[in-house]
Amino acid sequence: MKEPKNKIRQIWQQLYPDAEPGILSSFMKKLDKVKNEISFPPHEKEWYKDAIVYSLYVDLFNKDFPGLENKLDYLQDLGVNCLWLLPILDSPGKDAGFDIKDYRSIRPDLLGLPPESSNDEKAAVFAGFLDKAHKKGIRVIFDIAINHTSDQHPWFLESRSSADNPFRDYYMWAEDDKGYSDARIIFKGLCESNWEKDGDQYFFHRFFEFQPDLNYRNPDVLIAMAENLIFWLKLGVDGFRADAIPYLWKEEGTDCENLSQTHMLVKFFRAVIDHIRPQTLLLAEACQKPNEVVKYFGEGDECHAGYHFPLMPQMFKALHMQNSSPVANVLSKEVTPDIPKESQWFTFLRCHDELSLELVYVTEEDRKYIHDNYCLKPEWNFRLGQGVSARLSELMERDPAMIALAYAMMLSLPGTPVIYYGDEFGKFNDREYYEEMIKLTGKDDTRFLVRGKLNWDQIESELDNPGSFSSEVYRQISKLINTRKKYPVFGRGILEMIDVSDTDGNNVHEVMGYHRTYSCNSILVLLNLSDKEKHVSPPTARIKTSKQDMLGQAVIIDEGNKSLRIPAKGYYWFFV
C-alpha cells in the first residue's frame, strides 16, 4: 500500500487536475505539523475487531457528558469497550444532530457549559471525557455527516447570500429542479424532491430540505472536511462513523450513488487519518447491498469497517420463520463477498433508525414478510412500508426470552456487534418523545419512537428488582456480552453453517447451528428459533459429557436416545 502522503497527492491529481497547486501544498504542511504534535499512543492493530460497541445519544442517555461519565462504570460492567456517540456536533437538531452547523464544536448543552463557551473550552471538556473513558478501556467514536450540512451552517448561510459569494460553490445551485433526475428520493414519503427552492434558485439535497448537500467538485470542500477530521484526531478521538458516504459525488446521468469519485474521496480521508494516527477507525454507513458495501473497504485503503445492513432484517426474518435459511443465505459468499483481511463488518439488531426494509438490500417478498409480521401497530410504519419504527423489545413483543435469543444470534455471528442504548434492559418505544420531536421538527418521523430519554432512577430501581422485566433482560444480555468479549474467535473467526438433526437423522430446521473458528479455537452455536423444546443429536461428541455450556447454562442430555434438549427459544454456546 502506498505511503499515505503519496496517496493523498495521487488522489488529488485525479480529482482536481486543474486545482491551484498551493491548496494541496499548504494542506500537506498542516498534516505534518499535526502529526508531529500528537502524543497519543498508537492504536492496537485491528482493535475494532474485538470491540463491543454501545450506541447512544449523550443527552438522551444521561443529559450531558458529565452524566455519561457517571455511567462509564455501568457500561464497563455491561461489557462495553467502545462508545459510538450519535451526533454530538453543534446542530439545530432537526434531524437528531445529523444536520451539522459547526464541525468543530460540540453542542454546549452536552458539555454542561453555557452557550457562549468558546470552542477551546468545549474541546477541553470533551478531551477530559475521552481521557476518563480511555482509562476504563473504552474507546470513543462519533458521527460525522460529510455528505451534507445544516442550512444553518456558516458555509450555507454565505452560499445562499449571493450568487457571487466565495462559498456559493460549496453547494449545488441550479436555475431549476431538473438536475440529477436519476437520483432516488431517500426520504420517500417525507420529502417530495431532491431540490429545494431558495430565492430564485434551487439547491440540491439527498436528505431533508434543511440538509443541503456539499459540492465535492470544489477542492476547497474536500480540504475543509479533511481539516474537520484533523481537529478531532488532535483531541484523541478513536474513530469516525462516516454518515451517508455513498452519495458524496454527484454525476448527471447516474443515480449519484457509489460513484468512482466517491471512492476516491473516501480514500483521501483514509490516507489523511493513516498519516496522522493509523488504526483510527473509519466506519462506513453505506445503506447498500453487501457487494457494494465491500467496495468501501477498497484494498484496505478506504473504510476499516462497514455496517452489514442486509443481515439485520434477515435475522428478524429467521426468528419469525423459525428457520436459519435467511441468515445463511445473506452470509453466503454469493451475497456477502469476502472482505480484505484487515476489514470488518459491524452488525446490529436495532439502531437509532427504523428496522429498514429498503429494496437496495431486501426483496419485495422479504419486505412484505417482515413488515407484515413485525409492524404490529400502524404508527410503527416508516416511509410507506420501507421500514418499521420499533425498539427491539417491542418487535419481540416484550418477551425476554426472544430478546435474549436475538442477541445470542447477533453476538455470535461474524462482525463487531453494536448494542443500541436501552435495548440491554428492554427499553420500550417512547411516544412522548416522538410527539415532542414532531412539534420541534414539523416532521412525522416515526424513527423518533425508537429514541427517547432514559430515566435512570426508574431503570436502577427495576434493575435492582430480580423479578422485573428490565432485570430479566439485562441479566441475560450482559452475560452474553461479557462472555463474547473474552473470546477473539467471535470477532475474528470464520463462520461455518451446519445442519442440525434429530437422532433419527431428520433435519431440525428450527435449530440454527454454526461453528465459529479462529486459530486453534472453535465454538459451536445452537439456537432454537422455535417456541417449543427441541431434541437434537449433539453435533459433536464432546457435548454429551458437558455439564454446562460456556454461558454457564445447564446441558441436559436425554438418557434414552442421548439427544440434547434445547429449551424453547433457548441457545447454547459450546467450546468444541
pLDDT of residue 440: 84
**DSSP state, residue 47:** G
Q: What is the pLDDT of residues 286-328, one digit of tens each?
A: 988 888 899 999 999 999 999 999 999 999 999 999 999 999 9
Q: Which fold has domain 313-492?
A: TIM Barrel (3.20.20)
The residue-averaged pLDDT of 492-507 equals 96
User: How many angstroms separate the Cα of 280 from the Cα of each of 82, 86, 140, 233, 283?
Assistant: 13, 17, 10, 8, 10
C-alpha cell of 576?
A: 468444541
For 149-213, CATH number?
A: 3.90.400.10
- For the chain, the straight-line distance linking the first and the last C-alpha, in angstroms and rounded, comes to 38
| C-alpha dist (Å) from residue 180 to 36, 205, 215 | 43, 11, 13
Instruction: Judge whether 285 counts as a catalytic residue.
Output: yes
Q: Are 462 and 471 in contact (CB under 8 A)?
A: yes
Cα distance between residue 289 and residue 336, in whole Å: 8
Residue 84 has pLDDT above 80, yes or no: yes
Q: What is the dihedral of CA 92, 94, 96, 102, to 10 degrees?
A: -30
For 373-424, how does the pLDDT look when each residue is reduced to its tens digit (9 = 90+)?
Answer: 999 999 999 988 899 999 999 999 999 999 999 999 999 999 999 999 999 9
- DSSP annotation of 506: -
SS3 192: coil
Domain pair 149-213 / 313-492, same fold: no
- Average pLDDT over every residue of 153-174: 97
User: Residue 431: enclosing H or E segment and its boundaries?
Assistant: helix 431-441
pLDDT at 179 over 80: yes
List C-alpha distances in Å: 197 to 95, 129, 151, 174. Answer: 20, 42, 13, 9
Q: Per residue in 9-63, pLDDT tens?
A: 999 999 999 999 899 999 999 999 999 999 998 999 999 999 999 999 999 999 9
| Per-residue pLDDT at 470 | 98
pLDDT tens by residue, 92-145? 988 889 999 999 999 999 999 998 888 889 999 999 999 999 999 999 999 999
Task: Kindly name the residue from 243, 358, 394, 430 that is annotated as catalytic.
Answer: 243
- b/e per residue 524-562 (b: at least 16 CB within 10 A): bbbbbbbeeebbbbbbeeebeebeebbbeeebebeeeee
Rounded-to-integer distance, Cα 312 and Cα 334, Å: 17
416, β-bridge pairs: 346
pLDDT of residue 1: 62
CB 491 within 8 A of CB 51: yes
- Is 370 within 8 Å of 355 (Cβ atoms)? yes
- Name the residue with cell 410527539: 435
- Count of Cβ atoms closer than 10 Å to residue 280 Cβ: 25
| Residue extents of the structural domains in the chain | 149-213, 313-492, 494-575
User: For residue 514, how many other CB atoms are within 10 A of its CB?
Assistant: 24
Residue type at 258 in one-letter notation? N
Distance between CA atoms of residues 576 and 571, nearest Å = 16
317/329 Cα distance (integer angstroms): 12
Single-letter code of the amino acid located at 454:
L
Catalytic residue among 59, 95, 274, 285: 285
Q: What is the structure's pLDDT at 522?
A: 95
Helix (H) or strand (E) holding 196: strand 195-198
pLDDT for position 454: 98
Q: Are 143 and 136 in contact (CB under 8 A)?
A: no
In tens, the pLDDT along 532-550 reads: 999 999 999 889 888 999 9
Q: What is the mean pLDDT of the chain?
A: 95
Q: Class for domain 494-575, per CATH?
A: mainly beta
Catalytic residue list contains 69: no
In this predicted structure, the answer to whether residue 2 has a pLDDT above a threshold of 80 is no
